[in-house]
Amino acid sequence: MSDHPEHPADPAVPAGPAEPVLPADPDALRPESRLVHPTPVDPGGRPMGIPLHQSHLFAFESSEALTAAFAGPDGAFFYNRFGNPTVRSLEDAVAELEGGAAALATASGMGAINTVLLALLRSGDHVIAQRSLYGGTFAMLADLAERWGVELTHVGGDDPDEVAAALRPNTRLLHLETVSNPTTRVTDLPALIAVAKRAGVLSVVDNTFATPLLCRPIEHGADVVVHSATKYLGGHSDVLAGIAVFADAELHRTVWHYATELGASADPFAAWLTLRGLQTLALRVRRHCDTALDLATRLSAHPAVTAVHYPGLPFHPDHELARRLLPAGHGGVLAFDLAGGREAARAFTGAVRLASLAPSLGGVHTLVLHPASTSHRQLSDEELAAAGIGPGTVRVSVGIEHPEDLWADLEQALAKP
């Protein structure tokens, strides 16, 4: 994916990076000079791990070669804000997984979302966005509306007619999430994106919860897919990163250009950690899905639980849609409501032992969270109810521990007063 056929490298210009050019006899240099220029070792064999290019700068043989590097995202690497080989390896890997033309890795998921929105929107544009959005995205869109003159309409995730009715002549972008947090409602991507497409409106889908192994929004017409790679792609609670994948190389080029000015580019080490995580993504996602369905089923039969939200359960409101859109599995996040309300939820989240009380998801460790007092604490009781979140709703990001150990932990925590 690094050779975009649209932008073939100019064969007349030699590409960097070059071997270090030192005086004929490097040993003749004084220690002060030699220390700054150690000689790298050629590994000989092919490294099985993707090499970590922890260099923010690359040198060239000629000024022509450096000039050529400035031409665009497909030129040689010269400065990390514009690109880095380790970061590009991650971008290529995720672009391929999502079925996109090219990708842009960023310092965080919010970095990816902001880069895309700021690159594609201008004052006076209208955005249609889902109502139930990741908190940071919701706040960012509200800020664009309040301070930057972007018009904003929120819609649900299931009614194409509502999207059609929201369209204005200046509508530029539709922003959706494949699966919503924390109630795991599934968005009807094909139907909603089709409305946008007919109107010439760009569709951006946050696919963090589904991962490209369960859903590939570009196949359903999305123009841009964004991820918090902090979650499943990285998967080990050790890296903050994001990525945006573009269906079209020209759109990637536009956003890349803006990204080089914004400065939210991914750090090579973060990209390297994410690449390391990606190698086990398929195994992890399989395990997350299997264990989540198992725990959701057992929770549904527990007397302290009044409702379980997991798209894999037959009584989930989006179960049929989930079977179509996420045929390989329904993800690792579930939520459930406790009969005892707010106090019971607080007691439960404080009583887990194998699971941890922490506000993230998508990693190998099982995490629990009480949205009403943490991620969604700004919402009034009415707003919470409108979002399907009860005072006693608990979210679980199911990890890859043994399901029996997890169930034993949830059961003992449910037994606490």
Ligand X SMILES: *Cc1c(COP(=O)(O)O)cnc(C)c1O
Is residue 134 part of the annotated active site? The answer reads yes
| Residue 182 preceded by cis peptide, ω within 30 | yes
Classify residue 56 as exposed, middle or buried by CB count within 10 Å of its CB (0-12, 13-18, 19+): middle
Using the rule CB under 6 A, give the single segment among 133-141, 165-173, 323-331, 395-403 that binds ligand X: 133-141
Stretch 328-347: interaction string toward ligand X, x if CB under 6 A: --------------------
Classify residue 378 as exposed, middle or buried by CB count within 10 Å of its CB (0-12, 13-18, 19+): exposed
Q: Out of 115, 208, 349, 375, which residue is the one contacting ligand X (CB under 6 A)? A: 208
Closest to ligand X by CB, 230 or 265:
230
Tokens representing residue 375 in the block: 């991620």
Q: Out of 91, 98, 188, 206, which residue is the one contacting ligand X (CB under 6 A)? A: 206
Among the listed residues 34, 79, 81, 298, the single catalytic one is 81
Q: How far apart are CA 322 and CA 300, in angstroms?
A: 19
3-state secondary structure 192-259: HHHHHHHCCCEEEEECCCCHHHHCCHHHHCCCEEEEECCCCCCCCCCCCCEEEEECCHHHHHHHHHHH
Count Cα neighbours of 51 within 13 Å in the Cβ-side half-sphere. 11
Q: If binding is defined by CB under 6 A, does position 240 make contact with ligand X? A: yes
Stretch 264-303: interaction string toward ligand X, x if CB under 6 A: ----------------------------------------
Stretch 28-47: interaction string toward ligand X, x if CB under 6 A: --------------------
Q: If binding is defined by CB under 6 A, does position 391 make contact with ligand X? A: no
Q: Out of 89, 108, 203, 211, which residue is the one contacting ligand X (CB under 6 A)? A: 108
Among the listed residues 216, 231, 253, 346, the single catalytic one is 231
Q: How far apart are CA 359 and CA 328, in angstroms?
A: 26
Q: If binding is defined by CB under 6 A, does position 110 make contact with ligand X? A: yes
Among the listed residues 74, 125, 134, 253, the single catalytic one is 134
Q: How far apart are CA 210 and CA 200, in angstroms?
A: 26
- Total residues in contact with ligand X, by rule CB under 6 A: 15
Q: If binding is defined by CB under 6 A, does position 134 make contact with ligand X? A: yes
Q: If binding is defined by CB under 6 A, does position 214 make contact with ligand X? A: no
CB atoms within 10 A of CB 405: 13
Q: How far apart are CA 275 and CA 91, in angstroms?
A: 9
Closest to ligand X by CB, 91 or 206:
206
Q: How far is the CB of 70 from ligand X (least distance, A)?
A: 29
Closest to ligand X by CB, 244 or 400:
244
Is residue 197 part of the annotated active site? The answer reads no
One-character DSSP codes across 351-405: H-SSSEE-S--SSSS-EEE-GGGTTTTTS-HHHHHHTT--TTEEEEE--SS-HHH
Question: What single letter denotes the amino acid at residue 335?
Answer: A
Q: Out of 73, 109, 268, 312, which residue is the one contacting ligand X (CB under 6 A)? A: 109
Q: How far apart are CA 362 and CA 230, in angstroms?
A: 8
Using the rule CB under 6 A, give the single segment among 131-139, 192-200, 244-252, 388-396 that binds ligand X: 131-139
Q: Out of 182, 242, 311, 390, which residue is the one contacting ligand X (CB under 6 A)? A: 242
Q: How far apart are CA 179 and CA 193, in angstroms?
A: 15
Q: How far apart are CA 259 and CA 118, in angstroms?
A: 9
Q: If binding is defined by CB under 6 A, does position 72 make contact with ligand X? A: no
Is residue 231 part of the annotated active site? The answer reads yes
CB 142 within 8 A of CB 164: no
Among the listed residues 74, 125, 188, 206, the single catalytic one is 206
Q: If binding is defined by CB under 6 A, does position 232 make contact with ligand X? A: no
Active-site residue list = 81, 134, 206, 231
What is the contact surface with ligand X in residues (CB under 6 A)? 108-110, 134, 136-137, 177, 206, 208-209, 228, 230-231, 240, 242
